[in-house]
Amino acid sequence: MLISIIYKYSCQFIILFIFQLIPCCVASPCLFTTNIYSNGLKQQLQVESWGSDSIRIRLSPDVIIQTPDYQALLPEKPILGKDNCQQPNRNTFINGNIEFIINDDTETWSIQRPSDGLILIQVQSTRFLPYNYPVSVYSPVYTLYELSSIYTHVQHGYLYGLGQHHYGNNITLPYHNFHLPFVFSSTAPTNGDITIPWYLHTSGFGFLWNQPGYGSFDVRNDTEIMWTANATHQLDLWITTIPKEATLSSSFYPVLMKNYVDVVGHPNPLPHFASGFWHCKNRYRTQNELLDVAKGYYDRQIPVSVIVIDYFHWTAFGDWKFNSTCWPNIPEMMSELKSYGMKLMVSVWPHVAENSENFITMNTTGLLTHDANGSLLPTTGLTNHFYYYIPDQFNPATRQYIWNRIKENYFAYDIKTYWLDADEPQNTRPELQWWYGRHDDEIAMVWAREHQRLFWDGLREEKEQEIIMLSRQAWIGSHSMNVAVWSGDIDSSWEELLKQIKVAQNVALSGIYWWTTDIGGYHPVGLDDNEFQELILRWFQFGAFCPLFRLHGYRYPPLPDNECGSSGGHNEVWLFNYSRQIIDIIQMRESLRSYIEYHLNISTQNGTPILRPMFYDFNNDIECYKSEDQYMFGSDYLVAPVYTYRATSRSVYLPSINQQNSTWQHYYTKQFYKGGQRYNISTTLDDFPLFVKITSNDIDT
Ligand SMILES: *[C@@H]1O[C@H](CO)[C@@H](O)[C@H](O)[C@H]1NC(C)=O
Ligand SMILES: *[C@@H]1O[C@H](CO)[C@@H](O)[C@H](O)[C@H]1NC(C)=O
Ligand SMILES: *[C@@H]1O[C@H](CO)[C@@H](O)[C@H](O)[C@H]1NC(C)=O
Ligand SMILES: *[C@@H]1O[C@H](CO)[C@@H](O)[C@H](O)[C@H]1NC(C)=O
Ligand SMILES: *[C@@H]1O[C@H](CO)[C@@H](O)[C@H](O)[C@H]1NC(C)=O
Ligand SMILES: *[C@@H]1O[C@H](CO)[C@@H](O)[C@H](O)[C@H]1NC(C)=O
Ligand SMILES: *[C@@H]1O[C@H](CO)[C@@H](O)[C@H](O)[C@H]1NC(C)=O
Ligand SMILES: *[C@@H]1O[C@H](CO)[C@@H](O)[C@H](O)[C@H]1NC(C)=O
Ligand SMILES: *[C@@H]1O[C@H](CO)[C@@H](O)[C@H](O)[C@H]1NC(C)=O
Ligand SMILES: *[C@@H]1O[C@H](CO)[C@@H](O)[C@H](O)[C@H]1NC(C)=O
C-alpha cells in the first residue's frame, strides 16, 4: 500500500513526508491521506480531525474535493481547544476518543472508540460505479459516480434522527421510526417526509452522510446499514463520539448534539413573538374574514401571537402579491392586527405560473428550472389551466429577483414572517430537471435550503432582528437560518396524533429545533363529529408542549364559495365543544413562554433540543427507551399526551431521578410520584398526565 502522509503543523504550512521517515510522536498530525484499493480500483482516502472526538472521512477514485459546493458541514473546520490527533502507526489515525483503522487484508476500514474498544462502524464495502450522466447540454463540474456504502454497527442499539418520516416507504407499516428495519428507497422529499442524513446511535455516537443529492438509506436490520448516493464525486462522512472521560452511563446525548451543532451550525434564539399561540386555517379569503377572526380572539382576550394567511391570497402563482379585490387595504389590516398585538404570517409558494407578471422576465433571464436541453421545464399538471414552473433557487440571481418582489409586496407593509409551503418543491419532475447547471440527482436535497436562504439573506440585508420562517422541508443547515418545520398535511385521527408524538422526538434529534404539527390534523373532519371534538382538545394538550404552538387545518363542511374562492370550515377555538379547556391550554402555554425561550436559548449554546425523548435526560433507564409515547419538554416537564378516544387513564412511566431531593409532581393534582416506576394515571378532559420535576429541600427522597 502506498502511504503518504500530510502532517499539518498549523494553518500556515503543510509538509509532505513518506511514512517510513517519520518518527512516531513528533507532531500532532490532524490530517491523514493514503490510497486504498477496492476491486483493483485505486481510491484516495482523506481522514482528518473535525471537532472534538470526531473525524471526517472522504474517499474517491479521484482527487478529493476539499470544499464541496453544497454540503451539510460548515466549510470551516471547527477550532479545537487542543488537538488530540495521533498517528500511532501507518494504518491508524486517532482524534481524541475516535480511531480510524485501515484493515490491511481486506482493504476495508473501521472506526472504533479507544476508551472502551467498541467498533462503531465496520465498513463492508464502498463501491463507486460510473454515473450515467444524462445526455444534455450541460457537462459535469467534476466526475460523478453512483456510490453505495455498506457498513455494520457491531453494537446492537437504535438509531434516532434522520428527519421527519411519517410513513416512510411502507405505507402499510405505521410509522414507528424508533424501531427498525426501515428503508427510504429514496431520500427525495415529499409532503410530510423530510430526510436529514444524520442519526444518533444509542451506543454513543453520531453519523452524518454528507451528500446533497438523492439516494437511499436502508437499515436492513439493527446492525447492517446501506446508504447510496445517485450522483456524487466522493464518499464524505462525519462521525462523532463521546469523550474518553465519559462513559455510557453518563449523559452523552447532549455531548453528541453539541459536537453536531459545532460542525453544522448552531440554531439562533427564537424570536419572542413566536413562542405564543399561532392561529391558522385553510383559509381566510378576504381581509374582512381575517380581521373578524382576529377581532374575535382579541374581544375574547384569547392571546394570539401570529395569525396566518394561507395560499391563494395572491393574484397568480409567482406574482407574490395580494389580490387587491380580496385584500383591499393592507396598511389598514396591518395596523388593526398590530393593535391586537398580532403578527401576520403569509403563505409564499415558490411556483411561477405562465400567467404571472414575472414569468416572462424569469424565463428570459434563466431563473426557472431547465430540462436536459436547456429548455424551460414545467411541473407536472396544470393549475387553473396554466403551466407552472419551479424557480432555480441555486441561482443567486433568482433569489435576489424573488426577494425584490417579496420586499415590495410584503416586507414593505411590515409583513416579515413567511410560510414557505410546498417547498419540496411540490410537483417537480425528479431526474428531468437541472438547477444552475447541475442535475437533480446531484444536489436536489438542498433545494429547500437554498429557497430558505432567499428569505434569510433578504431579511438580514434589511437588518430584520426577529426572523422565523415556517417550512414544509428542511435540510441540515436550515435550522441556522431560523427555519421552523411543521408536520405537513396530516390526518385528523388518533393514530396520527400518536405518530406525531413519536415523529416529534426524532425530528428533535435530527437537529430541527423549531417544530409544530397542525393541531387537530389537516385533512377534513367535521366539527359536528364528537370524536373530533375530543381529538382536537387532546391535540391542543400535545401542541402546547411542542416548540411552536400552532392550530391549522381544513375543517368540514367547507364555507360556501364566494368571489374570493373556497375555504374550509371554521377553526376558531371558541367554536369547539371543549373551548373552555382549550383556552385554558392556551393560557398555560402563555405562562410557559419564558421557560420555552430559556430552553431554546440552551439549544443555541449546545444543540440540546427542548422536546426530546426521555432517554436523552435519563440514558441509563432502559424503560425510557421503550416509552415512546411520552417525552421531556426541557429539563423540568415530562409530557404524556392522551391519544385515545374517551380515555379515563393512561399508563405513564416516570424515570428515576438521580438527584437528591427531587421527585415528580403531577401538574394538575399536585400529587408527588416516585421515579423508576410505571403508573396508571387517570385523566379527565380538564387535564392530562403532565409531570414536573421538583427539586426542593422539603422532599424526602
Ligand atoms: C410493509 O410492512 C409490512 C408489515 O411489516 C410487511 O408485511 C410488508 O412486507 C412491507 N411491505 C414492503 C413493500 O416493504
Ligand atoms: C436515484 O437512482 C435510483 C437508481 O438509479 C433511481 O431509481 C431513483 O429514481 C433515483 N432518484 C431518486 C430521487 O432517488
Ligand atoms: C442483517 O442483514 C444482512 C443483509 O440482509 C444479513 O447478511 C445479516 O446476516 C443480518 N444480520 C443480522 C444480525 O440479522
Ligand atoms: C382578484 O380576485 C378577484 C375575485 O376573485 C378576481 O375576479 C380577479 O381576477 C383577481 N385579480 C387578479 C389580478 O388575479
Ligand atoms: C421561454 O423563453 C424562451 C426564449 O428565451 C422561449 O423560446 C420559450 O417559448 C419561453 N417559454 C414559454 C413557456 O413561454
Ligand atoms: C432534447 O432534444 C433532443 C433533440 O431534439 C430530443 O431528442 C430530446 O428528447 C430532448 N430532451 C428533452 C429532455 O427534452
Ligand atoms: C358538541 O356540540 C354540539 C353542538 O352544540 C353538540 O350537538 C354535541 O353534542 C357536542 N358534543 C359533545 C361531545 O359534547
Ligand atoms: C434568550 O436569548 C436572547 C438573546 O440572547 C435574550 O434576549 C433572551 O432574554 C433570552 N431569553 C431567556 C428566557 O433567557
Ligand atoms: C387504570 O385506572 C382506571 C381508573 O382510573 C381503571 O379503570 C383502569 O382499569 C386502570 N388500568 C389499568 C391498566 O390498571
Ligand atoms: C435535601 O434536603 C435536606 C433536608 O431538607 C437538606 O439538608 C439537603 O441539603 C438537601 N440536599 C440537596 C442536594 O439539596
**Model pLDDT for residues 323-362, shown as the tens digit of each residue:** 999 999 999 999 999 999 999 999 999 999 999 999 999 9
pLDDT digits (tens, 9 = 90+) for 172-215: 333 345 444 455 666 778 888 899 999 999 899 999 999 999 99
More confidently predicted of 392 and 77:
392
Is 52 exposed, middle or buried, given 0-12, 13-18 or 19+ CB atoms closer than 10 A?
buried
Antiparallel, parallel or unpaired: β 565-569 and 555-562: antiparallel
CA of 364 to the centre of ligand 5 (A): 7
Q: Pick the residue whose CA is nearest to atom 13 on ligand 3.
A: 223
SS3 21: helix
Do 109 and 123 meet the contact criterion of CB atoms below 8 Å apart? yes
Q: Pick the residue whose CA is nearest to atom 3 on ligand 4.
A: 325
Amino acid at 459: L
**Residue whose C-alpha cell reads 431563473 in the numeric block:** 367
Counting from 1 in the atom list of ligand 5, the atom nearest the Cα of 378 is 13
Of the residues 211, 244, 264, the one at which a domain ends = 264
Domain count, the chain: 2
Mean pLDDT of the chain: 90
Ligand nearest to the CA of 684: 9
CA of 316 to the centre of ligand 4 (A): 9
Which CATH number do you get for residue 137? 2.60.40.1760
- With a Cβ cut-off of 6 Å, ligand 4 is lined by 315, 323, 325-326, 563-564
CA of 530 to the centre of ligand 7 (A): 6
pLDDT of residue 223: 76
139 in a domain, yes or no? yes
Distance between CA atoms of 549 and 304, rounded to whole angstroms?
10
Res. 221 pLDDT band, cuts 50 70 90: low
Counting from 1 in the atom list of ligand 1, the atom nearest the Cα of 170 is 1
Do 372 and 434 meet the contact criterion of CB atoms below 8 Å apart? yes
pLDDT of residue 430: 84
Ligand nearest to the CA of 682: 9
Counting from 1 in the atom list of ligand 6, the atom nearest the Cα of 371 is 13
More confidently predicted of 260 and 156:
260
Residue-wise burial string across 682-700, b where 16 or more C-beta atoms lie within 10 A, e elsewhere: ebebebbbbbebbeeeeee
81 in a domain, yes or no? yes
pLDDT digits (tens, 9 = 90+) for 491-545: 999 999 998 999 999 999 999 999 999 999 999 998 999 999 999 999 999 999 9
**Under 8 Å CB-to-CB from 253, ≥6 apart: which residues?**
200, 509, 612, 615, 616, 619
CA of 123 to the centre of ligand 3 (A): 14
Residue 376 in contact with ligand 5 by CB distance below 6 A: yes
Do 358 and 318 meet the contact criterion of CB atoms below 8 Å apart? yes
**Separation in Å, CA 267 to CA 199, 259, 506:** 18, 13, 17
Q: Is the pLDDT of residue 411 over 60?
A: yes
Which CATH number do you get for residue 637? 2.60.40.1180
Res. 380 pLDDT band, cuts 50 70 90: confident
Residue 371 in contact with ligand 6 by CB distance below 6 A: yes
pLDDT digits (tens, 9 = 90+) for 38-97: 777 899 999 999 999 999 999 999 999 999 999 999 999 987 766 689 999 989 999 999
pLDDT of residue 511: 98
Res. 158 pLDDT band, cuts 50 70 90: confident
Residue-wise burial string across 310-320, b where 16 or more C-beta atoms lie within 10 A, e elsewhere: bbbbbbbbbbb
pLDDT digits (tens, 9 = 90+) for 102-119: 987 767 899 999 999 999
Of the residues 264, 298, 330, the one at which a domain ends = 264
pLDDT of residue 20: 32
Q: Is the pLDDT of residue 597 over 50?
A: yes
Residue 529 in contact with ligand 7 by CB distance below 6 A: no
CA of 108 to the centre of ligand 3 (A): 18
229 in a domain, yes or no? yes
567 in a domain, yes or no? no
Residue 531 in contact with ligand 8 by CB distance below 6 A: no
Residue 430 in contact with ligand 2 by CB distance below 6 A: yes
Counting from 1 in the atom list of ligand 7, the atom nearest the Cα of 533 is 13
Q: Is the pLDDT of residue 1 over 50?
A: no
pLDDT of residue 220: 66
Do 118 and 101 meet the contact criterion of CB atoms below 8 Å apart? no
Q: What is the mean pLDDT of residues 654-661?
A: 89
User: Rg of the chain over CA atoms, in angstroms?
Assistant: 26
Res. 171 pLDDT band, cuts 50 70 90: very low
DSSP-assigned states of every residue in 318-372: TT-SB-TTTS--HHHHHHHHHHTT-EEEEE----EETTSTTHHHHHHTT-B-B-T
Q: Pick the residue whose CA is nearest to atom 12 on ligand 7.
A: 530
Q: Is the pLDDT of residue 23 over 70?
A: no
Q: Is the pLDDT of residue 154 over 90?
A: no
Ligand nearest to the CA of 323: 4
Res. 306 pLDDT band, cuts 50 70 90: very high
Counting from 1 in the atom list of ligand 4, the atom nearest the Cα of 323 is 1
Distance between CA atoms of 228 and 695, rounded to whole angstroms?
48
96 in a domain, yes or no? yes
Query: In 457-578, which ranges are E strands?
Result: 469-471, 483-486, 515-516, 525-526, 549-551, 555-562, 565-569
Lowest mean pLDDT among 148-152, 291-295, 425-429: 425-429
269 in a domain, yes or no? no
Ligand nearest to the CA of 150: 3
Ligand 8 mutation target, pool 601, 604, 605, 635, most atoms within 8 A of CB: 601
Q: What is the mean pLDDT of residues 271-286?
A: 98
Of the residues 264, 293, 308, the one at which a domain ends = 264
Backbone CA torsion sign across 117, 97, 7, 28: negative
**Separation in Å, CA 545 to CA 333, 637, 663:** 31, 9, 20
Amino acid at 242: I
Counting from 1 in the atom list of ligand 8, the atom nearest the Cα of 594 is 13
**Rounded to two decimals, what is the model's pTM?**
0.93
653 in a domain, yes or no? yes
Residue 577 in contact with ligand 7 by CB distance below 6 A: yes
Distance between CA atoms of 27 and 85, rounded to whole angstroms?
9
More confidently predicted of 86 and 2:
86
Q: What is the mean pLDDT of residues 424-442?
A: 92
Do 486 and 518 meet the contact criterion of CB atoms below 8 Å apart? yes
Q: How far apart are the first and last CA of the chain?
A: 62
DSSP-assigned states of every residue in 104-118: TTTTEEEEEETTTTE
DSSP-assigned states of every residue in 569-582: E---GGGSTTHHHH
Domain range for 248: 2-264
pLDDT of residue 625: 87
Q: Pick the residue whose CA is nearest to atom 2 on ligand 10.
A: 697
Distance between CA atoms of 448 and 193, rounded to whole angstroms?
13
Residue 598 in contact with ligand 8 by CB distance below 6 A: yes
pLDDT digits (tens, 9 = 90+) for 627-647: 889 999 999 999 999 999 999
Q: What is the mean pLDDT of residues 395-415?
A: 98
Cis peptide before 181 (omega within 30 of 0): yes
Residue 185 in contact with ligand 1 by CB distance below 6 A: no
Q: Which three cell numbers stand for residue 701?
A: 427522597
Ligand 9 mutation target, pool 649, 652, 682, 688, most atoms within 8 A of CB: 649
CA of 326 to the centre of ligand 4 (A): 8
